[in-house]
């Protein structure tokens, strides 16, 4: 009987240890009906910097420039905060490394889950699949090749692909300016 008791104790101890593992950095996110959701936190209208930091964490690298950026190297996320405001104008999620890098982008990649409506956003997403699944999102002008801008319900998304448009480099999300 003592052997069974010890075995049950060890199994319980092993199972309980998984509850104490540190944050893996993986965030579950989605965009639906004009709402950005990261974990359990939801953002609609102006996205407040302190609320996004609470949702993502405090393990960021801060850099001042035209915007103040908050780069989460381990999570593959960058927040853009316009000077003298408490809002976030854009959130970037890096899925693969671009050919050219800069000091603002994250050193790591986004390893969480992200959905836009029913589209599962991932590194091997193609531009053709994105266009097919986001038909109800309006297309608007983008600022460079292999980059597509979509807009719906007050949210815009830029999808930046590699030259063959077979791999997603990053997804940038923000609140669309009212016209």
Rounded to two decimals, the pTM is: 0.85
Which of helix, strand or coil describes residue 103?
Answer: coil
Instruction: Give the whole-angstrom CA distance, residue 172 versus residue 12.
Output: 43
| pLDDT tens sequence across 108-145 | 999 999 999 999 999 999 999 999 999 999 998 888 99
Confidence of residue 9 (pLDDT cuts 50, 70, 90): very low
- CB contact set of 88 (below 8 Å; sequence gap of 6+): 47, 48, 49, 52, 79, 80, 81
Confidence of residue 2 (pLDDT cuts 50, 70, 90): low
pLDDT of 7 higher than 70: no
User: Can you list the alpha helix ranges (DSSP code H) found in the chain?
Assistant: 2-17, 49-56, 127-133
| pLDDT tens sequence across 75-88 | 999 999 999 999 99
Instruction: Give the whole-angstrom CA distance, residue 134 versus residue 151.
Output: 10
User: Can you list the alpha helix ranges (DSSP code H) found in 18-144?
Assistant: 49-56, 127-133
């Amino acid at each position: 009987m003592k052997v069974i008791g010890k075995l049950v104790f060890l199994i319980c101890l092993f199972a309980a240890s998984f509850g104490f593992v540190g944050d893996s950095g993986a965030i579950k996110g989605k965009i639906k009906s004009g709402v950005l959701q990261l974990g359990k936190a939801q953002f609609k209208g102006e996205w407040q910097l302190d609320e996004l930091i609470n949702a993502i964490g405090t393990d960021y690298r801060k850099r001042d420039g035209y915007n103040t950026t908050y780069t989460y190297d381990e999570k593959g996320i960058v927040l853009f905060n316009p000077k003298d405001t408490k809002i976030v104008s854009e959130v970037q999620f890096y899925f693969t490394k671009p050919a050219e890098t800069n000091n603002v982008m994250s050193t790591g990649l986004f390893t969480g889950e992200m959905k836009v409506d029913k589209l599962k956003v991932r590194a091997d997403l193609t531009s053709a699949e994105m266009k097919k699944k986001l038909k109800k999102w309006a297309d608007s002008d983008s600022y460079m090749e292999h980059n597509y801008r979509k807009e719906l319900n007050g949210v815009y998304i830029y999808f930046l692909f590699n030259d063959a448009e077979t791999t997603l480099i990053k997804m940038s999300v923000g609140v669309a300016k009212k016209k």
